[in-house]
């Protein structure tokens, strides 16, 4: 106990010394300990950070109310090099889709690739993995649409075999899931994943209503979360979706189709060809009708001329 008191007294003495009681202290022992005590270390000067760029010039330029900032070409930001993806499996050749889903996927991609011309490049693909991080597994939608991107020339190179976000520089604008069972996670796991990746529109087509009450449900990304849309137009991409009862490749069913802002279907290549054939046939019918009308008029004129001649009247006079 005595040793503890001495230690406590020394701590208190050191504290008194450090806060400036030393000059007024009349106790010689305490003054001696004050003189032996080590002063508090000086705080280091703050480092010079004037050379550090805390905000990218492009961000300053785009922010409202901020003056224009001139870029320094020597410190211009560059995208990182492509990561090592040698360990990534881009496809495993496992057949998982049913016939309806396969046809539905092709209907969505083929119509865009054949007939849609937005005036900007795009990629529409089905059953292709979207990799958003090197160490995370991909998410594989039944179909996706990505604007302002192009496919590489060499599609066999591994970095070009799937949709790697670091290669394309952005996520797709639209993903479509066709529900065929209750194990796909379309209403849960995939919904959260697509929102985290940053996909603008998430379209869920559930023909059998296995995971939702509606055949068709569309989600829009708002502040990082999906909210259901009541309107089937996707204004940010200039397209809409609709349900269509009709025949595709010999199968009659209810299909998910793309449409323009006016509600007209985006045609498949076959539909365009058939429409062109119908237009040619219609033009031929119109031409034939005009020929027949002209022929009937000529015959009528000849009969009238013959009648006049029989009456002794020269039709030429």
By DSSP bridging, strand 216-222 and strand 239-248 are unpaired
Distance CA 229, CA 220 (A): 6
Task: Give the HSE-up count for residue 218: Cα atoms under 13 Å, Cβ half-sphere.
Answer: 18
Positive/negative CA dihedral, 223, 224, 225, 226:
positive
pLDDT at position 283: 77
Give this prediction's pTM: 0.63
**What residue ranges do the domains of the chain occupy?**
2-33, 99-267, 268-317
Q: Which long-range contacts (CB under 8 A, 24 or more apart) does 229-233 make?
A: 233/261
pLDDT tens across 142-199, in order?
Answer: 999 999 999 988 888 888 889 999 999 999 999 999 999 999 899 999 999 999 999 9
In whole numbers, what is the pLDDT of the chain averaged over residues?
78
Q: Where are the beta strands (DSSP E) in 148-259?
A: 163-164, 174-178, 201-205, 216-222, 225-229, 233-234, 239-248, 251-259
What's the confidence (pLDDT) of residue 51?
56
Rounded to whole angstroms, the Cα distance separating 31 from 23 reads: 8
C-alpha to C-alpha distance for 158 and 173, rounded to whole angstroms: 23
Residue count (the chain): 317
**In terms of DSSP H, where are the helices of the chain?**
2-18, 28-36, 57-62, 99-115, 165-168, 189-197, 269-310
In the chain, helix, strand, coil percent, each to 5?
35, 20, 45
Query: Which of these, 175, 157, 164, 159, lies nearest to 138 by C-alpha position?
Result: 164
User: What do you get for the CA distance between the two ends of the chain, in Å?
Assistant: 151
Cβ pair 176, 142 in contact under 8 A: yes
Phi, psi of 130 (to 5 degrees): -105, 115
Sequence-separated (6 or more) residues with CB below 8 Å from residue 306: none
Burial of 49 (0-12, 13-18, 19+ CB in 10 A): exposed
Residue 141 confidence (pLDDT): 95
- The pLDDT value recorded for residue 314 is 75
- Which class in CATH covers the domain with range 99-267? alpha beta
Tell me the backbone φ, ψ of residue 231, rounded to 5 degrees.
-110, 130
Task: Collect all residues with Cβ–Cβ distance below 8 Å to 56 and sequence separation of at least 6.
Answer: 77
Neighbours of 129 (CB within 10 A): 18
Q: SS3 of 81, please?
A: coil
Question: What is the structure's pLDDT at 27?
Answer: 59
Give the chain's residues under pLDDT 50. 1-24, 52-79
Looking up tokens 């137009």 gives: 233
């Amino acid at each position: 106990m005595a040793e503890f008191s001495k230690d406590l007294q020394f701590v208190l003495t050191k504290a008194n010394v450090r806060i400036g009681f030393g000059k007024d202290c009349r106790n010689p022992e305490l003054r001696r300990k004050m003189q032996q005590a080590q002063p508090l270390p000086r705080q280091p000067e703050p480092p010079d950070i004037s050379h550090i760029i805390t905000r990218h010039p492009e961000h300053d330029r785009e922010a409202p109310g901020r003056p224009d900032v001139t870029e320094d070409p020597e410190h211009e930001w560059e995208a990182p090099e492509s990561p090592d993806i040698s360990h990534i499996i881009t496809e495993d050749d496992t057949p998982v889709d049913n016939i309806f889903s396969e046809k539905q996927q092709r209907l969505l991609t083929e119509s865009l690739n054949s007939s849609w011309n937005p005036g900007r490049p795009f990629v529409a693909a089905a059953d292709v993995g979207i990799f958003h991080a090197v160490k995370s597994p991909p998410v594989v939608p039944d179909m996706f649409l990505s604007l302002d991107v192009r496919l590489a020339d060499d599609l066999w190179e591994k970095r070009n075999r799937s949709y790697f976000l670091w290669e394309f520089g952005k996520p797709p604008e639209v993903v479509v899931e066709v529900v065929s069972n209750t194990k796909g996670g379309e209403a849960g796991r995939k919904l959260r994943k697509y929102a985290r990746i940053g996909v603008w529109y998430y379209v869920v087509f559930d023909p059998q209503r296995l995971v939702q009450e509606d055949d068709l449900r569309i989600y829009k990304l708002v502040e990082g979360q999906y909210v259901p849309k009541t309107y089937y137009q996707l204004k940010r991409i200039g397209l809409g979706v609709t349900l269509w009862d009709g025949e595709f490749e010999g199968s009659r069913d209810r299909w998910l189709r793309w449409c323009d802002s006016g509600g007209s279907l985006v045609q498949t290549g076959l539909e365009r060809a058939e429409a062109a054939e119908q237009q040619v046939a219609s033009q031929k019918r119109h031409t034939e009708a005009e020929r027949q009308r002209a022929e009937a008029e000529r015959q009528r004129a000849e009969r009238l001329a013959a009648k006049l001649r029989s009456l002794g009247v020269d039709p030429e006079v």
